[in-house]
Amino acid sequence: MRGHSKQLMFYSVQESHYTSREYRQELWRYQMTQSMSRRGNCWDNSPMEKFFGSLKTEWMPTTGYQSFSAAQSAIVRYITDYYSDGKTPLV
């Protein structure tokens, strides 16, 4: 967690392991804000689902990456391209 922003947010679904006291304490320990979709409302998470779905199906090679640094640079490139199209909102 070196160099993380104090505004770091962790998005999760409402499953028991994400709502447990221990899990929430760990998030607090790392100064992370937890965000969850409302119960029974699948549309709350649709922008993130689209983003990660596109990342997994359009960008990641089926054979995986050769190293962590190769994965990191490819994903940074994907994020930069994804948000630089002028149509995708940053928030």
Residue range 20-35, pLDDT digits in tens: 888 888 888 888 877 7
**Bridge partners (DSSP) listed for residue 11:** 35
Residues 78 and 60 in one domain: yes
Question: What residue numbers bound the domain in which 64 lies?
Answer: 45-83
pTM of the model: 0.44
Residues 49 and 78 in one domain: yes
Residue 68: which pLDDT band, with cuts at 50, 70 and 90?
Answer: very high
4 domain-assigned: no
- Cα 40 → chain centroid: 20
Lowest-confidence segment of 2-6, 39-43, 67-71 by average pLDDT: 2-6
